């Protein structure tokens, strides 16, 4: 019996997973990264799904993405009479955070009264809601529901989930979703149509310095679920686009990194309003200063690996 498709699997680290830019890799395969041990940044897995059996060139190209797997033989297996897209959704059980329900095609579930359901499949962008950072941000937004935000931005939007949640909570607000990766913006656009979410402005942008972003500011709600390093480096530019006393939600940082992130934002005049720890991860809610930060904004390179919603 012939194989309908093939799967190649190698171990990887979280850093390697987040560095993969699926839109810029010339590999005839769909790449999927998965956290295999919860909150262990060293225990991730890369799966490459292809219609043809991986040849030496494809194996070498995939190996180059995960240097930590050097010396480990890839597992290559045929997928006979199997829907590998559905397989990739296995294990992603529906989650509920406040009024939000997030599920995949593989695990459909009906929303309860008062819930807003989002269908978010795993794919070429991060942010299905199943990681503690993204689910923590959903819970944080749910607690902010009574606030009157009018101009929100989701930096590093990934799948668009947090932007969709903001649109649901504040239907009259302007909501912008940005990502440095054009693939993520395409995924967000597709997810918006799938979930009947409209009115979100989509921008391919490097951080918060893009003229389109600054021209639409200041923002009274800023969401950034990325990584501790970029959050620290971007503190001045995020503070610069914040309206007086704006709410800033930061995630993607380990609990051990929380103090360094807080210190970076205190230096711009922000204050810490709330810090929630989920496992090894911390979600921060900050309040911006009365006046927008006007200090120097560093020109930090290497952002192509930053804008990854977890």
Binding-site residue positions for S-adenosyl-L-methionine: 134, 156, 179, 225
Which DSSP letter does residue 304 get? G
Query: Per residue in 282-295, is it b (16+ CB within 10 Å) or e — as a string?
Result: bbbbbbbbeebbee
Closest of 133, 156, 135 to residue 282, by C-alpha: 133
Tell me how far apart the alpha carbons of residues 28 and 54 are, in angstroms, rounded to a whole number.
9
CA distances to 136, 244, 294 from 297, rounded to whole Å, are 29, 18, 8
Query: Phi and psi for 38 in degrees, rounded to 5?
Result: -55, 130
Beta-sheet strand order (sheet of 100-103) = 95-97, 100-103, 116-119
Tell me how far apart the alpha carbons of residues 24 and 139 are, in angstroms, rounded to a whole number.
33
User: With contact defined as beta carbons under 8 Å apart, do 94 and 46 qualify?
Assistant: no
Closest of 75, 29, 67 to residue 48, by C-alpha: 29
């Amino acid at each position: 019996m012939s194989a309908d498709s093939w799967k190649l699997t190698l171990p990887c680290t979280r850093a390697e997973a987040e560095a993969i830019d699926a839109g810029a890799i010339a590999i005839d395969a769909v790449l999927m990264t998965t956290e295999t041990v919860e909150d262990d940044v060293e225990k991730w897995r890369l799966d490459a799904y292809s219609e043809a059996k991986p040849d030496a060139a494809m194996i070498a190209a995939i190996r180059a993405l995960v240097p930590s797997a050097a010396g480990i033989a890839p597992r290559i297996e045929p997928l006979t009479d199997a829907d590998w897209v559905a397989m990739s959704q296995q294990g992603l059980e529906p989650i509920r955070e406040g009024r939000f329900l997030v599920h995949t095609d593989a695990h459909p579930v009906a929303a309860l009264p008062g819930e807003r359901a989002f269908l978010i499949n795993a794919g070429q962008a991060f942010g299905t809601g199943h990681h503690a950072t993204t689910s923590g941000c959903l819970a944080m937004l749910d607690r902010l529901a009574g606030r009157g935000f009018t101009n929100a931005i989701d930096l590093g939007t990934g799948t668009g989930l947090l932007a969709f949640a903001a649109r649901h909570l504040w239907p009259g607000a302007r909501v912008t979703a940005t990502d440095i990766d054009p693939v993520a913006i395409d995924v967000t656009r597709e997810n918006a149509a799938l979930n009947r979410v409209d009115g979100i402005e989509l921008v391919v942008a490097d951080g918060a310095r893009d003229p389109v972003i600054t021209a639409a500011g200041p923002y009274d709600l800023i969401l950034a679920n990325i990584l501790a390093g970029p959050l620290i480096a971007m503190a001045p530019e995020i503070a610069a686009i914040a309206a007086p006393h704006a709410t800033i939600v930061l995630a993607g940082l380990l609990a051990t990194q929380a103090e360094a992130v807080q210190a970076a934002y205190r230096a711009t005049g922000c204050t810490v309003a709330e810090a929630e720890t989920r496992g090894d991860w911390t979600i921060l809610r900050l309040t911006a200063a009365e006046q927008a930060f006007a200090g120097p904004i560093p020109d930090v390179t290497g952002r192509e690996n930053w804008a990854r919603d977890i």
